[in-house]
Amino acid sequence: MQLEAKDIGFRYGNGPWLFQGVNLTLEPGEIVGITGPSGCGKTTFCRILAGFETPVEGTVTFNSDPLPKKGYHPVQLIFQHPEKAINPRWKMHKILNEGWKPNKEVLELLGIDREWLERWPNELSGGELQRFCVARALGPNTRFLIADEMTTMLDAITQAQIWHAVNEIAKKRKMGIVVVTHESKLMQRLCQRVIDFNDFS
């Protein structure tokens, strides 16, 4: 089982290429970092990997097949800004159960307080909201996780707690992870290898 992006290129309309010739093969249990300056296309590439965006060139496959269009997606994307990924009209228990019903272990590892389940999104901090986004993405059928600057906006303690939880769950499930971050120490600690988007612009 693997997630493979082959010869991926993207641009808007007839404009200049944002990137071209990006190749990535992600195996179960592998953690790969993506680095590069702002505006080089890292987030767009993440959206392509998760099926939110269609590349102009190249293909993305899961287990040698095209990414599925229906059902629970095996590639889950966690955005940098959790408030943009959450319906403000839903209470947190409905948001959490949107894709699957998280088990007790996931909630405890992520430090999600049961009391928060009855709150509205605007009653929680950014760090608390991001914990819910991570929990929602860690469904039983998730095989690959795309973390696009998912803890950049959070304080150091919250960052460490969330990454500890994600690491624990990923190891148990042999889940592959793509990490996008500007934090070199985090990249060095987590990733087996790093892709530099400066090479594709």
Q: Is 3's pLDDT higher than 90?
A: yes
Report how many domains make up the chain.
1
- Which residues, in sequence order, are CB contacts of 51 under 8 Å at separation 6+? 60, 67, 68, 69, 73, 75
**Digit-coded pLDDT (tens) for 112-126:** 998 999 999 999 998
Q: Output the six-digit token pair for 81.
A: 């800004």
Other beta carbons within 10 angstroms of residue 188's beta carbon come to 10
In degrees and rounded to multiples of 5, residue 146 shows phi and psi of -110, 110
Q: Write the CA distances from 176 to 71, 75, 162, 194, 199, integer angstroms.
A: 20, 9, 16, 14, 23
> Is the CB of residue 22 less than 8 Å from the CB of residue 45?
yes
Residue ranges making up the domain that contains 112: 3-199
Phi/psi region, residue 63 (left: phi>0; alpha: psi -120 to 50; beta: rest), is: left
182 pLDDT band (50/70/90 cuts)? Answer: confident
- Of the candidates 71, 51, 52, 69, the residue with the CA atom closest to the CA atom of residue 60: 51
Q: Using CB atoms within 10 A of its CB, is residue 81 exposed (0-12), middle (13-18) or buried (19+)?
A: middle
Specify the pLDDT at position 91. Answer: 94
In this prediction, residues 87-115 reach a mean pLDDT of 88
Specify the pLDDT at position 45. Answer: 97
Q: What is the mean pLDDT of the chain?
A: 91
In this prediction, residues 53-79 reach a mean pLDDT of 91
The H helix count followed by the E strand count for the chain is 6, 9
Specify the pLDDT at position 69. Answer: 80
Q: Give me the helices (H) in the chain, please.
A: 42-49, 92-96, 104-109, 126-137, 156-173, 184-190
Specify the pLDDT at position 200. Answer: 82
What CATH number is attached to the domain comprising 128? 3.40.50.300
Q: Output the six-digit token pair for 8.
A: 């991926």
Specify the pLDDT at position 156. Answer: 87
Q: CA triplet 58, 64, 70: central angle to 5 degrees?
A: 90
Specify the pLDDT at position 10. Answer: 97
Specify the pLDDT at position 80. Answer: 87
Specify the pLDDT at position 72. Answer: 75
Q: Write the CA distances from 154 to 80, 138, 150, 161, integer angstroms.
A: 10, 20, 9, 11
User: To the nearest whole percent, how much of the chain has pLDDT over 90?
Assistant: 67
Task: Flag the least confident range among 21-25, 57-61, 70-74, 123-127.
Answer: 70-74
- Which residues, in sequence order, are CB contacts of 90 under 8 Å at separation 6+? 121
Rounded to the nearest 10 degrees, how much is the dihedral formed by the CA atoms of 193, 81, 67, 172? 60
Q: Is 179's pLDDT higher than 80?
A: yes
Specify the pLDDT at position 132. Answer: 92
**Digit-coded pLDDT (tens) for 136-172:** 999 888 999 999 999 888 888 888 889 999 999 999 9
In this prediction, residues 50-70 reach a mean pLDDT of 92
